[in-house]
Amino acid sequence: MNKNNNMKCDIYTIWETYQNDLKGYVRKRVSDVNDVNDIMQSVLIKITNYCETKNNVKYIKAWLYKITQNTIIDFYKKSKRTTTNADFEHMHLQNHQEYDENIFVWLHNFIDNLPTEYSEPLRLSDIEGKPQKKIAEQLGLTLTATKSRIQRARKKLREKFDECGTVQPSENQLLSYTITKACCLK
């Protein structure tokens, strides 16, 4: 973050750091490349507009994913495209009030703490949105081994979420994640 009075956020650094991850996130949820690019442009505009007036974002990554997710939802609402449940299955969340943004922070922390053999394929698949066949080629694995590692990583991630805290409905948000074990705060 830049403390300069003219610009309260270092938009360039933020965008350079997270652009590829966010684009992978969008690609996993929107199939048309032109629509992906339009959504990414809208996300950048929203970030810029916010950063020109405020500087109170505590968890940048979670905030960026929240903006991106809301932009995808807006895109589907505005375009009135028909979607199947499978399209929203990966989204897990259907509007901006349905989750605690810290879930994204914990998700990335928990993925970072998985063994590399699991975290790398999971991140490439579920965060960056790469096809499993390309991940297999990139990692020098068979497609079957890649699929297996991704499934195991998802299982380990779920176990970590269950071990460390609880996901529950809350008054202001439909879903909230609370860490219940101090050892998970590392």
Sheet strands (E) in 6-139: none
CATH topology of 1-94 equal to that of 97-186? Answer: no
- pTM for the full predicted model: 0.47
Q: Taking the domain 97-186, which CATH number applies?
A: 1.10.10.10
Mean pLDDT (the chain) is 75
Looking at residue 94, what is its pLDDT? 37
Per-domain boundaries in the chain: 1-94, 97-186
Looking at residue 7, what is its pLDDT? 38
**Given the structure tokens 């994640």, which residue do they identify?**
177
Looking at residue 179, what is its pLDDT? 63
User: Is residue 137 pLDDT above 90, yes or no?
Assistant: yes
Task: State the Cα torsion 32-19-21-54 to the nearest 10°.
Answer: -110
Q: Average the pLDDT over 175-180 and give the result.
A: 62
Which of 88 and 37 is assigned the larger pLDDT? 37
Of 167, 123, 128, 127, give the one whose Cα is nearest residue 146.
Answer: 123
- How many helices (DSSP H) and strands (DSSP E) are in the chain? 8, 2
CATH fit for domain 1-94, picks 1.10.1380.10, 1.10.1740.10, 1.10.287.90, 1.10.260.40: 1.10.1740.10
Which of 59 and 183 is assigned the larger pLDDT? 59
